[in-house]
Amino acid sequence: MRIIGYSSIDRTLLTDTGNISLADDIGLILRKRGCAGRWEDDRYIPCDSDTAPFCERCSGILPDPCIMCRGECTKREKTCTMEHSVYLAIFSPDLVKVGVSKTRRLETRLMEQGADVGLEIARFPDGELARKREQELAATYPDRVTFENKIDGLSQPVNSETLQMVYSRYDAGRVMRFDYFREKPWMKPIVLEPHENGAISGRVLGVKGQALVIEKGSTLYVINMDGLIGYDVEQGKGPVNLQTSLLEFTKQ
């Protein structure tokens, strides 16, 4: 079976034959990597290309035409007429990001990114106005955050001074806090790089955005799930039965 995506909300890896739960222990062996395919409407279309994670044809399908919009588009998509919110997402300890989301899925959007705290600071009747406000705020806050920056403070709490600064500047309509782990991480996780014939095994501590955090031998490891897309995988009977050490990932 091939990994074609993931859901950080449902804590699952999505494959072309079903879902793999990330709620407890995990035991996977990675095999060949190729194109993860594409979706057309609600129908999944597999692809036999060896280009990973997506071939040119499959990567050309943009699921949401408004993703790259900066509020200057003259073609108003149907989704643009929906109510939109401008938000600030805070990642521990003190990283603040600005963004836009449809109001009805704001909380979900923040969780998909792995935000520790989210503040709705403005609401607009359409996406065009919201993205113009986002661009104004982008002079102060970044509108993109790298995976590496997100995990730098993964074992730390949100800085109280950063929170107070944001609270004092904006009248937040909603403040949302999120907890992603069954236990508070006790160390900065070691980053693992997936590779062919490698194994992933251990106890899942939690899923924070695209970060899959697992424990093995009292050590924490983190995998960017974007890097798993396109791999063919085999499920082991359990993490103790997998022979390839997690440490092999760090040597690549």
How does the average pLDDT of the chain come out, rounded?
89
Residue where a domain stops, chosen among 177, 199, 221: 177
CA separation, residue 63 to residues 56, 72, 103, 110, 209 (Å): 15, 19, 18, 19, 19
Please state, for a pLDDT cut of 70, what percent of the chain lies above it: 86
Amino acid at residue number 53: P
Q: Which residue has the tokens 């403005």?
A: 122
pLDDT band at 60 (very low <50, low <70, confident <90, very high): confident
Judged against a pLDDT cut of 50, whether residue 85 lies above it is answered with yes
Judged against a pLDDT cut of 60, whether residue 3 lies above it is answered with yes
Judged against a pLDDT cut of 80, whether residue 79 lies above it is answered with no
Neighbours of 77 (CB within 10 A): 14
* Torsion region of 195: left, alpha or beta (phi above 0 gives left; psi -120 to 50 gives alpha): beta
pLDDT in tens, 148-199: 999 999 999 999 999 999 999 998 989 999 999 999 999 999 999 999 999 9
Distance CA(137)–CA(133), nearest Å, equals: 6
Distance CA(115)–CA(154), nearest Å, equals: 11
102 shares a domain with 186: no
pLDDT of residue 179: 96
Phi and psi of 122, rounded to 5°? -165, 155
Number of domains in the chain: 2
pLDDT of residue 250: 46
Q: Which two tokens stand for residue 134?
A: 């986002």
Whether 27 maps to a domain, the answer reads yes
Q: Are 35 and 48 in contact (CB under 8 A)?
A: yes
Q: How crowded is the C-beta side of 251, counted as CA atoms within 13 Å?
A: 6
Of 43 and 247, the one with more pLDDT: 43
Whether 23 maps to a domain, the answer reads yes
Neighbours of 252 (CB within 10 A): 10
Whether 71 maps to a domain, the answer reads no
207 shares a domain with 167: no
Structural domain boundaries enclosing 105 = 78-177
Which of 233, 237, 227, 226 lies closest to 199, judged by CA?
Answer: 233
187 shares a domain with 172: no
Q: Are 157 and 184 in contact (CB under 8 A)?
A: no
Please state, for a pLDDT cut of 90, what percent of the chain lies above it: 81
**Least confident stretch, 7-21, 51-65, 137-151, 214-228:** 51-65
Whether 228 maps to a domain, the answer reads yes
